A and B are shown apart, each in its own frame.
Chain A
Amino acid sequence: MFVRMRGGPQLGRGLLQTAVGIAYLIIFAPVLMIVLTSFFSQEIISFPPPALTWHWYANAWDKPEFLRGFFTSIQVALLVASIGVPIGTLAALAIVRGEFWGRQAISTLLLAPLAVPGVVAGSGLYMFYVMAENALDRDIKATTEGLVAAHILLAIPWTVRLVVASLQGLDRAAEEAAANLGASPLTVFYRITLPMMRPGIVAAAMFSFIQSFENLDLSLLLVGPGRITLPVAMLNYLEFRIDPTLAAVATVQIVIVGVLMVVTDRFVKLSRVV
């Protein structure tokens, strides 16, 4: 209606731009705040900061729990992506290409971990691990394997969703063309199907990595001494003190995730698959 008003189109565009601006502000304000405070010289955050400093980064570097947590997180996230993505991809193939009873149910089930709160899933897994430990007579709950297995639960829904989408958008005639040209079913898969699924798989690997790398709630009960992930280490630190060291660590985290997304986007246009 206001399009009919005098100067309507300009006003409309102005409102739209304002709305977009506010949306960006809401998205980026916390990130910006964290990055800024990581350079504030005061321990108690106050505006304006008396001076800027790298001190908190050095401080984080000096704390072994952060460095160890960082490497644990990277290790876990890499394992999760390299195990979860193949499993999720196979599931996606079965869901899209297979013809069997209960296909839809399985598809829904595989997306379910997204709907369960992490703390709840974490507690459930903790109890399950305790039972499994008793039955198998070996450690699970404070081990890397146990944590990786738990995080794979996060990787699978992402992978299934992304790979299913890329499979559904795939021109099956290309596979038929390959068969027509003499390629056996296995060759068709390796030479045609898999490369055409690549954007979905790459995106799935990236999201799986990020999901695992920044996960806190699911990991809380499952980490063991010496195997603390970075987000859990940050929470532990927070229990005893509040200073911009955490902001410094978070900034490093943000930069890693950001770089990962930008690099991935160079290979596959994320906006096309997500």
Chain B
Amino acid sequence: MANLTIEKLTKRYGSSLAVDGLDLSVREGELVALLGPSGCGKTTTLRMVAGFLPPTSGRVLFDREDVTALPAYKRSTGMVFQSYALFPHMTAAQNVGFGLEMRGLGPAEREKKVEQALKLVRLSHLSARLPRELSGGQQQRVALARALVINPKLFLLDEPLSNLDAKLRSEVRIEIRALQQRLGLTTLLVTHDREEALTMADRLVVMEGGRVRQIGSPKELYDEPQDAFVADFVGRCNILTGRRESPGHFRTEGGLLLAVDTASRESDNATAFALRPERILISPGTSGQTCGSVEAVTYLGAQSEYHVRIGQELFVVVRPTPAASEPLAAVKPQDPVSLAWEPTAPRLVPQTS
């Protein structure tokens, strides 16, 4: 396994920049996720790292070796594609063995390694099947084994879970992460699914418009987003635009005055108030400072979601579903409620341009 360094990587299509001066390094054994909406440049970046796409400028280094000019087939990366991209005319074992064959391994050695790789993904019993005879989850595991068996310098995952159903997705997510940690794979993961990125990655790179918005651990990005875009993309968020008034207060565009912690390190050009729905406490009645009325209550099983209108602003609050005996359980639309939060819970951040 190698570490990956990306320097000032740029891809230009005509007048538009798909990737704009990206800098990133992935340490050995680390899983870094590129997260962003479609068209943010994350897939383009991955394809440049894999060697499928020549960058307009910038460099890609594996360890200290510059691979920018190297074609894909000489880079020795192991990639798992969104569509799995299995070879339809080869069995699972032949698919897994292909990379070994390209490396000139003899049939006996190949067979042994293929067997090990298939065992790793618990598919030994299906090695003779053709891809079309396998389920989506099984195809996905063949693709994993195929990418790993060549002992790649870099493990590349392009939206590997997006074609699986929800239940399978969370299973495979855990499986891939465990495998990655166990084998110490240096991994670059591309995804638009924030849950996937938060649960799998050591570090997250939030991208938008070809640029990096923020790099950090999942917790950093969730708790301390640098701008409203990151706050909103990494998780659900109440984002209210307005401006800072007196120290310790924020005035929303709708005229609502909100208390904030002045000690926090927010930038001066903060024009948005960001507060996670689960950080808000809600209680029936009008006893608190910030009072409003309930617009909707949505039961989600373990959690319940409350839409609360205060003046012109709408807050989304997510709480564990209250037991029947709790006063909150009786709250219904039109009821008055009061909201409260820790002074350190909200973040004041710049708006997205």
Contacts and interface: CB of A to CB of B under 8 A. Distances in A.
Interface of A: 171, 173-174, 176-185, 187-188, 191-192, 195-196, 198
Contacts of A173: 81-83, 85
Contacts of A196: 87-89
A153 B68 CA distance: 46
B103 interface: yes
Given A180-B72, A180-B77, A183-B73, A174 B86 contact: yes
A184 B73 contact: yes
Given A182-B150, A183-B73, A184-B73, A176 B85 contact: yes
A177 B52 CA distance: 10
Q: Is the interface of A mostly helix, strand, loop or mixed?
A: helix
B157 interface: no
Given A180-B50, A181-B99, A182-B103, 8 more contacts: A171-B83, A173-B85, A178-B98, A182-B102, A183-B102, A187-B102, A196-B87, A196-B88
B85 A179 contact: no
Contact of B81 (A177, A185, A192, A198): A177
Interface in B180-230: none
A178 B78 CA distance: 10
Contacts of A191: 87, 98
Contacts of B138: none
A253 B150 CA distance: 54
Given A181-B146, A181-B150, A174 B87 contact: yes
B76 interface: yes
Contacts of B239: none
Interface in B55-85: 71-79, 81-83, 85
A202 to B, nearest CB: 13
Max chain B CB contacts within 10 Å: which of A182, A187, A188?
A182
Contact of B87 (A180, A185, A187, A192): A192
Contacts of A192: 87
A241 to B, nearest CB: 53
Nearest to B73: A179
14 contacts: A173-B83, A174-B87, A174-B88, A176-B79, A177-B86, A179-B72, A180-B73, A180-B79, A181-B146, A182-B103, A183-B102, A184-B73, A192-B87, A196-B88
Contacts of A180: 50, 72-73, 75, 77-79, 147
Contacts of A188: 73
B78 to A, nearest CB: 7
Given A183-B73, A196-B89, A176 B98 contact: no
Interface of B: 50-52, 71-79, 81-83, 85-89, 98-99, 102-103, 143, 146-147, 150
A179 B89 CA distance: 17
Nearest to A182: B102
Which 4 A-B pairs rank lowest in CB-CB distance, beginning with the nearest?
A181-B99, A173-B85, A182-B102, A177-B85
Contact of A183 (B50, B75, B86, B98): B98
Contacts of A198: 89
B87 A177 contact: yes
A181 B72 CA distance: 9
Contacts of A171: 83, 85, 88
A174 B50 CA distance: 14
A119 to B, nearest CB: 43
A174 B85 contact: yes
Max chain A CB contacts within 10 Å: which of B51, B74, B98?
B98
A184 B73 CA distance: 6
A173 B81 CA distance: 7
Contacts of B81: 173, 176-177
B107 to A, nearest CB: 16
Contacts of A187: 102
Contact of B102 (A174, A176, A181, A195): A181
Max chain B CB contacts within 10 Å: which of A180, A182, A191, A198?
A180
Nearest to B103: A182
A176 B83 CA distance: 12
Nearest to B102: A182
Contacts of A185: 73
A202 B318 CA distance: 60
A182 B76 contact: yes
Nearest to B75: A180
A10 B81 CA distance: 49
A174 B71 CA distance: 16
A180 B85 CA distance: 11
B269 to A, nearest CB: 43
Nearest to A177: B85
A269 to B, nearest CB: 12
A179 B50 CA distance: 10
A195 B72 contact: no
Contacts of B85: 171, 173-174, 176-177
Nearest to B97: A181
A187 B104 CA distance: 13
Contacts of B102: 181-183, 187
Contacts of B150: 181-182
Contacts of B71: 179
A122 B51 CA distance: 51
A176 B72 contact: yes
B212 to A, nearest CB: 25
Contacts of B99: 181-182
Nearest to B88: A196
